[in-house]
Structure 1
């Protein structure tokens, strides 16, 4: 299971049916309890940006989606039951958001009040038209300020179906997508076999948010728990670490994005790369981060890597099977100066990561609000920010069947002022998905950087080290693209 642009996903043509979530309470005009619960820090900031953007007639938009395949003729009523059970189990998916006395209320409808209504959308006779419809559907249907906050549907064929769900970020994160696939498919298969649904409520993200707010809402900028952030900001007082390469952006301007993905290592190379990292006392994500740092340095960046890194807050047990925005973001800093070999940079990454993770509890949005209030008031990060994310999808629940289900995740954002890169490891290898500003400078920079990174991690896998300096404009090679709906590979 990997992440790549929806535009790269070859979905075979078929008849499209969608299921619209309805609430009998909402349709009856019943008011939500005003004494209810409050949204998390992540959700509040996300919703605020959407409100302010709408008021300025400058709307922002983004979504997180998952697609997967059902083999054989689709039983549509059974899939509808599986989808409804999934929504009923996860409280955050039943939530409506609204402002109450300045705070964002997060109120769920009762599970028993929900129903799904099937709607025939139409038939598409080519993969191109099918893909174009899905791209437009997700962009037009996901609205942070409107309930429901997701869309569910299927592309139905005589002998298979592609199921899709797209969510506003306010109710989920990337690690929620494997939960979606595993729960919906497990429920569908159980019902098809004559079994019963598991309607036990999953541990609620609203409980997580309530505990987080209880612990951190009352802190101020002098709180010692913010010492790590203050030290990272240093005398310059910059909360956000800058992306060190030229993207050709103007201050204060947002741009359309480029959304692209590529494979860095195939399955065999990824295994060797992991062994190389373990041999010097690190983990694969540390070796990848070390390689990123060296490539940025070789392209003109500093010898000391400074960046933001999202970290899962799910823990090992409580929230593993829950849908929600269980992500904190923290700064990391380490030495990748010239002359240091792979083992030395890895040791520096390991030390920097250990220091970072010891401060994981402080919510990113709360630190941002307290330590950089002027930037917090803006609707976007102030300039291109250095950002690194890694997920080993093989460790997710249901991963043993991801290949069978041909599961994939997709992210999209309307505009940006920088670059973000996500890395995923799955059974096919190590992959990269980047969203960055659509400027001539950014295309050159990111093209060179991605190819340099590919050559660097391959060199680490081959020789156990960084080898010779990476050329800034290496020769291009064909890049593997995602599996199509039939499970075969295709190329751009």
Structure 2
């Protein structure tokens, strides 16, 4: 895991492609194959970005990029064929969004947006030579500038494809607005990009599993929403959460000294919290107590925040992937719902007790994983919609976890060196994602960039690492860490000993200078005006497995 500025790009020639309907050049071509309804999440995001773009300067939208390395000389014709194959295979990648001209039959906000799917025969790729770059840094600047000027949530296009052609290797990339992709989908695109390209170059059939369309998933989502009754247990779970929390969404539990609804430049930071041996030991410890890694990290997260801010309960929303059906396992889209989590912390002085509460909270939350997002606002009140009171919250937070070792393409990372990049320029959030690769477990934070937020973030990250160290260091579950590395492991209090009392809300002195260790290298937490792009390398992930109701970006 490295920041965007450390992405291993070669210097060289850059070529890009933007998807366009060919009817703009040939009126005889019927461009639209079908008009469908986008998902509830897509509608919320689309209107949210439009709303805030009118009220705040700078970029509010989020983009997600996938890159794949191609060794040796690039075959541009094969790459063009690969991009076309991907676009035809996944409807959502050849979709355009527009407002519904006839609002009759809509449900408030939902139903106002329509999705036009371009016919495969009506798709053309507009090719642009971005230039030849002798140095990597100007190349990066040109790429980032191109992304900001091209990707547009509300006007389109929502996808940009390209390749950096170097002497010894090339890097192909697909950049999508969050509107049409999630983190799981980035791994799918990387895997299929490599698979299709290799088969095309070898003049062999492309072997990929059958796949469904995300837009068919969204159709079913509307059917499911109509079946939800006010007394549905999933609604009751959310109703209780909102009553205790005051909102569907959750604020970061430590004061960041910012006003409600304020947007700031984004501060993105990644640290490694456990190496691979420690991650294995942590997992065994959690499972020995009938819990999971997700529950364990939730417990650790709660303890760290409790010690900084003193909150008695960790209340947080968690994104959950919805890919239970086999037809969605390899589909590209935004297959994510949200669930409410409440972890008790007051009066609990042992990690195992917090772990038990976290696991119970997680299992309870999963019972609402398949509740359509729209149902929350239909039954709990439209005052909680992102277009209403959302901007009256202080920095919003969430907790997320994804295991990259289980995603498609994990077996090919040595050859393709796939990466995932997330771009955020401005934010009103303080969000946390945990990721696991074969190298260990990492913590990624997307925070507002203010002096106070930097102090709190440094204390937060240090707290998570310290709690994990205490839990791993003296846990009775043994793990086979190499002897050469054992001497480097710091010793701490026993995992079963009483936890320390909550610290003052001010971060420890010098916290802002804390070093970040990313993939074996030490870095200082930094930001860059205008563009903030951490990268998650889907690298050396081990075996491939199926993921069903799993947390996801």
- Shared fold per TM-score greater than 0.5: yes
Q: TM-score, structure 2 length as denominator?
A: 0.81
1:265-319 Cα distance to aligned partner (Å, 9 max, x none): 1222212221221221111121111100000111123132210111000126221
Alignment of 1:34-433 (within 5 A): 36-56=35-55, 58=57, 60-100=60-100, 101-102=102-103, 103-197=112-206, 202-217=211-226, 225-234=234-243, 237-315=246-324, 317-368=326-377, 370-376=379-385, 377-378=387-388, 380-381=390-391, 382-433=393-444
Secondary structure of 2:97's aligned partner: strand
1:443-473 Cα distance to aligned partner (Å, 9 max, x none): 0000110111112212222222265539763
Q: 2:18 aligns with which of 17, 20, 29?
A: 20
1:480 aligns with 2:505: no
Work out whether residues 89 and 200 of structure 1, in 8 Å CA contact, stay in contact via their aligned partners in 2. Answer: no
- Aligned-partner Cα distance in 1 for 2:382–2:337: 18
Q: Which residue of 2 aligns with 1:459?
A: 470
Cα deviation for residue 62 of structure 1 reads 1.6
The more displaced of 414-423 and 460-469 is 460-469
- Aligned-partner Cα distance in 2 for 1:440–1:279: 41
Secondary structure of 1:480's aligned partner: strand
Unaligned runs of 5+ in 2: 104-111, 476-494, 525-553
Would the alpha carbon gap of residues 357 and 260 (structure 1) be closer, same or farther in structure 2, given more than 3 Å must change? same
Q: 1:443 aligns with which of 429, 454, 461?
A: 454
Q: Which residue of 1 aligns with 2:4?
A: 6
Cα deviation for residue 436 of structure 1 reads 0.6
- Aligned-partner Cα distance in 2 for 1:151–1:366: 33
- Aligned-partner Cα distance in 1 for 2:378–2:406: 34
Would the alpha carbon gap of residues 328 and 144 (structure 1) be closer, same or farther in structure 2, given more than 3 Å must change? same
Secondary structure of 2:251's aligned partner: coil
1:236-291 Cα distance to aligned partner (Å, 9 max, x none): 64322321112221122211111121111122221222122122111112111110
- Aligned-partner Cα distance in 2 for 1:267–1:340: 28
After superposition, the CA RMSD in angstroms is 2.6
- Aligned-partner Cα distance in 2 for 1:57–1:460: 43
Work out whether residues 89 and 201 of structure 1, in 8 Å CA contact, stay in contact via their aligned partners in 2. Answer: no
Would the alpha carbon gap of residues 51 and 128 (structure 1) be closer, same or farther in structure 2, given more than 3 Å must change? same
Cα deviation for residue 6 of structure 1 reads 2.1
Would the alpha carbon gap of residues 480 and 193 (structure 1) be closer, same or farther in structure 2, given more than 3 Å must change? farther
Unaligned runs of 5+ in 1: 484-488
Q: TM-score, structure 1 length as denominator?
A: 0.91
- Aligned-partner Cα distance in 2 for 1:27–1:57: 36
- Aligned-partner Cα distance in 1 for 2:360–2:70: 44
- Aligned-partner Cα distance in 2 for 1:272–1:371: 42
The more displaced of 405-414 and 254-263 is 405-414
Give the number of equivalent residue pairs: 485
Work out whether residues 214 and 331 of structure 2, in 8 Å CA contact, stay in contact via their aligned partners in 1. Answer: yes
Cα deviation for residue 34 of structure 1 reads 11
